[in-house]
């Protein structure tokens, strides 16, 4: 095997990895003294992109971009490279734009707009697309408030959804659900399911938004715009221990939705961090909105494949053995079947496990039915998605030992079937089950 310059690898390097790493890379080592060695990296073209000058090197992937993290020896500094061997001076800019090199044109545009260089192109594109309200065209480095974010989100929804010149229905002249703000765009964002209040009828319009709050709102907007089904797996952020429970799923989801540029809708802040408690700036919010605007809507095939993956994940997540083990050994479970259900002996517990397993299998059948509906071009994707989510939520409440769900189950509740009925699919479901039984 030879490198890009024709050198035989085994002669040039003391050690060469036998398997390709992320991005098709190969780790190589040279000797350094009698016992030490130094690490470097070849890319998929066998070009040396990281010199053999480090103890350990790591190939990372974030936002669909590969980069190399190379801690310097005898120092607390770290060098970064792309897979072409270019030194990355600004990792944050690289992860946002695919490059940390700012052109003279970008510098000029940033100076004219009054924003950071990395944001100039996306802000101008957002203005050209008319998704930036007049009130937000300026002071781009300022932190964005909840009210301002709603105006930006509502405008983006209106333009991308083809709203024309006026809002329709309940969003034409919306009534405010909050006691501390009466802004039509806040009401629209609330009606669309993009934002929620702070409780007790308050919205807190002037409060600043954190990055994790922005992630949740952007996920909600992506769902409303139907651009949220093609989601790529993202490497864990090193600061995920600081994520709020209510934000964690949205952070990873919005980091995995890609715009037409290949960039994630929302990116990390560099060095593997997301920085959930940092405040969000206007320029960051506008950049994420134009990426959402440029993201293709879900196709029927996207929806079906994504939904099938969700079902398969759920189907693989629990087996009778898993449930049985949980309910015989989990302390929380013991409390439920002793305190709430009065179950103490083994035979009663076993019956309980069997009932849960039946509920699990039945839920999978309901979800397979939803998947079957996805192939029908006459069916509404949003309607199927909504029904499926109701079923998934019901399933998760059971398998997470939710008190009310378990009590309903033990009392013979058929909650999942009532969901099918509520959406008007009783006859179709019965036909589907009969067809399944014949196979």
Rounded distance, CA 423 to CA 60, Å?
45
Contact between 41 and 26 (Cβ < 8 Å): yes
Say yes or no: 158 and 39 in one domain: no
Point out the residues of the chain with pLDDT beneath 70. Answer: 1-7, 63, 76, 96-97, 100-103, 163-169, 229-230, 261-262, 298-364, 377, 381-382, 392-417, 437-439
Specify which residues 208 forms β-bridges with.
145
Of 381, 355, 354, 369, nearest to 421 by C-alpha is: 369
Say yes or no: 23 and 144 in one domain: no
Element containing residue 49 per DSSP (H, E): strand 48-54
Question: Which one-letter DSSP state was computed for residue 65?
Answer: E
Say yes or no: 84 and 218 in one domain: no
Say yes or no: 199 and 72 in one domain: no
Residue 404, CB half-sphere, CA atoms under 13 Å: how many? 4
The strand pair at 26-32 and 48-54 is best described as unpaired
Residue 248 falls inside a structural domain:
yes
Rounded distance, CA 247 to CA 216, Å?
6
Rounded distance, CA 329 to CA 244, Å?
28
pTM: 0.56
Rounded distance, CA 295 to CA 293, Å?
6
Domain of residue 176 covers 104-293
Last residue of a domain, one of 60, 88, 116: 88
Q: Where are the alpha helices (DSSP H) in 161-239?
A: 184-191, 211-224
Predicted pLDDT at 214: 95
Residue 284 falls inside a structural domain:
yes
The total number of residues shown for the chain amounts to: 439
Number of folded domains in the chain?
Answer: 3
Q: Which residue has the tokens 């009534």?
A: 175
Say yes or no: 334 and 434 in one domain: yes
Predicted pLDDT at 411: 46
Q: Where are the alpha helices (DSSP H) in 239-380?
A: 248-256, 282-293, 300-317, 320-329, 331-335, 346-374
The per-residue pLDDT for range 264-314, each reduced to its tens digit, is: 888 888 777 889 999 999 999 999 999 988 887 765 555 555 555 555 555
Say yes or no: 141 and 237 in one domain: yes
Residue 243 falls inside a structural domain:
yes
Say yes or no: 255 and 326 in one domain: no
Say yes or no: 262 and 165 in one domain: yes
Rounded distance, CA 276 to CA 406, Å?
34
DSSP of 377-431: TTS-HHHHHHHHHHHHHHHHHHHTT-HHHHHHHHTT--HHHHHHHHTT-HHHHHH
Of 130, 124, 99, nearest to 109 by C-alpha is: 124
Of 148, 276, 264, 251, nearest to 205 by C-alpha is: 148
Say yes or no: 361 and 230 in one domain: no
Residue 428 falls inside a structural domain:
yes
CA dihedral 196→198→204→208, nearest 10 degrees, is -80
Residue 392 falls inside a structural domain:
yes
Say yes or no: 414 and 308 in one domain: yes
Rounded distance, CA 268 to CA 236, Å?
11
Say yes or no: 172 and 271 in one domain: yes
Residue 99 falls inside a structural domain:
no
Last residue of a domain, one of 234, 266, 293: 293
Rounded distance, CA 165 to CA 170, Å?
15
Last residue of a domain, one of 258, 293, 328: 293
Say yes or no: 146 and 191 in one domain: yes
């Amino acid at each position: 095997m030879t490198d890009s310059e024709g050198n035989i690898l085994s002669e040039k390097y003391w050690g060469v990895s036998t398997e390709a790493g992320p991005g098709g890379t190969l780790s190589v080592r040279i000797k350094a003294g009698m016992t030490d060695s130094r690490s470097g990296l070849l890319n998929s073209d066998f070009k040396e992109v990281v010199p053999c000058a480090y103890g350990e090197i790591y190939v990372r992937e974030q936002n669909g971009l590969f980069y190399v993290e190379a801690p310097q020896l005898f120092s607390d500094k770290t060098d970064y490279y792309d897979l072409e061997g270019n030194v990355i001076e600004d990792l944050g800019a690289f992860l946002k734009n695919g490059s940390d090199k700012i052109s003279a044109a970008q510098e000029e545009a940033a100076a004219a707009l009054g924003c950071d260089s990395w944001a100039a192109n996306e802000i101008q594109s957002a203005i050209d697309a008319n998704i930036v309200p007049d009130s937000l065209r300026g002071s781009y480095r300022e932190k964005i408030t909840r009210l301002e974010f709603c105006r930006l989100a509502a405008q983006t929804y209106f333009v991308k959804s083809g709203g024309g010149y006026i809002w329709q229905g309940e969003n034409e002249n919306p009534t405010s659900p909050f006691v501390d703000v009466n802004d039509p765009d806040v009401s629209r964002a609330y009606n669309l399911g993009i934002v929620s209040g702070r409780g007790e009828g308050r919205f807190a319009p002037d409060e600043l938004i954190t990055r994790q709050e922005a992630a949740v709102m952007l996920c909600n907007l992506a769902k409303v715009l139907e651009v949220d089904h093609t989601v790529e797996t993202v490497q864990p952020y090193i600061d995920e221990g600081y994520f709020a429970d209510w934000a964690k799923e949205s952070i990873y989801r919005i980091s995995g939705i890609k715009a037409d540029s290949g960039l994630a809708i929302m990116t990390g802040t560099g060095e593997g961090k997301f920085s959930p408690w940092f405040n969000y700036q206007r320029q960051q919010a506008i950049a994420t909105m134009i990426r959402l605007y440029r993201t293709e809507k879900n196709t029927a095939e996207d929806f079906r494949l994504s939904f099938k993956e969700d079902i398969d994940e759920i189907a693989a997540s629990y087996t009778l053995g898993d449930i049985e083990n949980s309910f015989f050994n989990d302390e929380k479970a013991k409390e439920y079947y002793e305190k709430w259900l009065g179950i103490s002996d083994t035979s009663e517990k076993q019956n309980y496990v069997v009932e849960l397993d039946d509920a699990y299998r039945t839920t999978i059948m309901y979800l397979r039915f939803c998947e079957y509906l996805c192939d029908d071009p006459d069916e509404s994707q949003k309607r199927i998605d909504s029904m499926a989510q109701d079923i998934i939520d019901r399933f998760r409440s059971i398998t997470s030992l939710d008190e009310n769900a378990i009590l309903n189950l033990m009392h013979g509740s058929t909650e999942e079937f009532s969901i099918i009925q509520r959406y008007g699919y009783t006859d179709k479901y019965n036909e589907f089950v009969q067809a399944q039984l014949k196979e």
